[in-house]
Amino acid sequence: MPTYVYAMVNPDGSDGATFEVLQRMSDPPLTKHPESGKPVRRVPTMPNLSLQWSEGVNKGKLSDKNLKRLGFAKYQNAGDGKFEKRAGAGPDSISA
Reading the chain (96 residues) residue by residue, the pLDDT tens digits are: 788 999 999 999 999 999 999 999 899 999 999 999 999 999 998 876 656 655 555 667 778 888 889 899 999 999 999 999 999 898 999 987
Alpha helices (H) in 1-96, listed in sequence order: 55-58, 64-69
Tell me the C-alpha distance between 18 and 7, whole Å.
Answer: 4
What is the rounded distance in angstroms from the CA atom of residue 35 to the CA atom of residue 51?
32
Question: What is the distance between the alpha carbons of residues 55 and 95, in angstroms, rounded to a whole number?
Answer: 28
**The predicted structure's pLDDT at residue 46:** 81
